[in-house]
Amino acid sequence: MEVMQELIKKAGILIEALPYIQKFSGKTVVIKYGGNAMINEELKNSVMEDITLLKFIGLNPIVVHGGGPDISKALNERGVKSKFVNGLRVTDDITMQTAQQVLIGKTNKEIVALLNTNGGRAVGISGIDGSFIECKKQYTEVDGEKVDIGYVGDIVHVKHCLIDLLSSDQYIPVIAPIGTDEDGNSYNINADTVAAAVAASVEAEKLILLTDVEGIKDKDGNVIAEIHKNEIYEMIHDGSISGGMIPKVLGCLESIDGGVTGAHIIDGRIPHCLLLEIFTKTGIGTLIKSDKY
């Protein structure tokens, strides 16, 4: 009898997911893969299973990944100390070479292999391929002064034809955050920024950022399940949103302004976080809603 009750419970879970599967079938979901979910082996496999399942039930997942800790580790092994200005990695020639080797040659291919092992058909690419992420040199400011931080890119345009070709077929694109300028120079780009720009370019239904936090919290520390984009600016202004959460939410707002229906900030430390956020009534993180949601 206990076995039967367990089976009935599982059937109920599937039925709860049915309207969401119907709603999002054929829709594109851009997933920024980062944080602890890239480090913990159990969480890695959980995320890969989720992404593979999304593809098999009719959604079109696109993965954009980070890799900062791996880059820092590789630089340390070369005797190069990592430097940051305003949260951006100062990227000289050797740092850029290392970033390419790590992000494209190591991290990207590991993710592709994991997805393929779970039954998916993943293809690893970077913004250099087909020059599909066009960027220009980015500068930052310190005390009102313009500071050169090297090969750090500011996205100018995302040509989505290559992504569309892959995701509309049986493949799962896995994108390393490296772009190129009109002269063929390569640039390291913030992965959250790339994910937001890609989501806007393909007019994705959802942008989902996997983070190491539960979501956006109010002043009392409670996670906000849903919030309209206009309320985000108020929370930044009153200090409710601060620090490293600011660039994440601004990326979400940029994607929404570019046509994305909803952006999610979720806790990637929870097993099967993607399925819980997309296919349950309450979700597990914060949904930032557009006017058309």
pLDDT per residue as tens digits for the range 211-233:
888 888 888 788 888 888 888 88
Choose the weakest-confidence range: 82-86, 166-170, 175-179.
Answer: 82-86
Give the pLDDT score at 1: 63
Average pLDDT of the segment spanning 170-175: 95
Residue 172 pLDDT > 80: yes
Confidence of residue 3 (pLDDT cuts 50, 70, 90): confident
Task: Determine if the pTM surpasses 0.85.
Answer: yes
- 86 torsion bin: left (phi>0), alpha (psi -120 to 50), beta (else): left
243 SS3 class: coil
Give the pLDDT score at 180: 95
> Residue holding tokens 């995302």?
158
CA dihedral 266, 176, 42, 24 (to 10 degrees): 50
Q: Is 138 exposed, middle or buried (CB count within 10 Å of its CB: 0-12, 13-18, 19+)?
A: buried
* High-pLDDT (> 70) share of the chain, %: 98
Whole-number Å distance between alpha carbons of 113 and 120: 9
Residue 8 pLDDT > 80: no
On average, the pLDDT of the chain sits at: 88
Number of helices (H), then strands (E), belonging to the chain: the values are 10, 14
Average pLDDT of the segment spanning 68-80: 90
Residue type, 99: A
Residue 132 pLDDT > 80: yes
CA dihedral 196, 267, 44, 18 (to 10 degrees): -80
- List the binding residues for substrate: 67-68, 89, 188
289 SS3 class: strand
Higher-pLDDT residue of 21, 2: 21
Confidence of residue 292 (pLDDT cuts 50, 70, 90): low
Domains of the chain by range and CATH?
Answer: 30-289 (3.40.1160.10)
Whole-number Å distance between alpha carbons of 250 and 237: 13
Whole-number Å distance between alpha carbons of 268 and 282: 16
Angle at 232 between CA 240 and CA 237, to 5 degrees: 50
Residue 293 pLDDT > 60: no
**Other C-beta atoms within 10 Å of 21: how many?**
15
- List the binding residues: 67-68, 89, 188
Whole-number Å distance between alpha carbons of 107 and 9: 38
Q: How far is CA 113 from CA 77, 120, 121, in A?
A: 25, 9, 9
209 SS3 class: strand
Alpha helices (H) in 39-107, listed in sequence order: 41-56, 68-77, 93-100
